[in-house]
Amino acid sequence: MSPALCDIVSSLQRSGTFINTLIAALTIGGQQLFSSFTFSCPCQAGKNFYYGSAFLIIPALILLVAGFALRSQTWTIASEYCCSCVPQLRKISLLERRLACLHFFGITGRALVAPLTWLAVTLLTGTYYECAASEFASVDHYRAFDNISAGERQEILAGLMLSVFLLNNCVKMLGWILITLATITALVSYSLARCCSPLTALQHRYWTNHLHNERELFEQAAAQHSRLLILQRIKKLFGFIPGNEDVRHIHIPSCQDWREMSVPSFPCMGNDVQGNYSFLGGRVDEDNEEGRSGGIELKP
């Protein structure tokens, strides 16, 4: 991939507008496919409401939960600022908490894109809402329903398309109202967040770029560091590194080595100065004691 194309892809990944538009487009396409292949109104009194409401609300809730759960920043904020079960290794300042709240508002805004898009599209389409509200449509101005009881009227409306025509304009109006309210709320929330932010506009832009670069470089360095550390421990445990064709000596792990490898270790937990980071344990970091375990010399 050319450097120019890499720069374009990187800038698009950092662009919140592009990502929000992509999420909305995927949600619209998914909603259309979902309603085409899975939804069929039962047209029965007592079932239409629950069936239509489930298709209208439950996917939106699932998208909302997924929007929070799939963001790694959510768990970072939860573990560093919100979780009280983990002992604090350092004191968190008020500025850090305000920045964490600002970051959480950004995560919330991104998480709301998909569910609000789902609700808006379903209301504009009207299929789910019309099914849910069909048996409750007002037909008082139709004389044919004057001598029919409320229960019978519900049964008739649940199975007729008359209620669909009555509710069509209403549901489209609700869809546009939702879009308008969501747009106004997003604008007001963004304005309030920036007004209450302890950072200036340039500082906020720098901070956003700093977080992105920090996350990207940390993942690259952590992957390389962990690989080198694991290779070092594997060499001390087995006597060679995987992929090395010139293997002249292998080490036979002792029973104690295998027992310690079976116990997971956690970094920086307890009073350890240097934590263990893998199932290989800390024993293999130390020099292998002579006579504790044997080795085999491989002659070419």
Q: Are 265 and 276 in contact (CB under 8 A)?
A: yes
Hey, what are 181's tokens?
């309210």
pTM assigned to the model: 0.63
Residue of 291, 295, 278 lying closest to 232 (CA atoms): 278
CA 53, CA 47: separation in Å to the nearest integer? 10
Hey, what are 25's tokens?
């487009």
Hey, what are 137's tokens?
């449509």
Identify the three-state secondary structure at position 110.
helix
Q: What is the pLDDT of residues 148-202, one digit of tens each?
A: 655 665 555 555 544 555 556 677 788 888 889 988 988 888 787 778 777 788 8
Residue with tokens 């019978």: 152
pLDDT of residue 292: 47
Question: Quick one: DSSP state of residue 82?
Answer: I
pLDDT at 274 over 80: no
Neighbour tally for 280: CB within 10 Å: 20
CA angle 197, 202, 207 (to 5 degrees): 70
CA angle 150, 125, 135 (to 5 degrees): 5
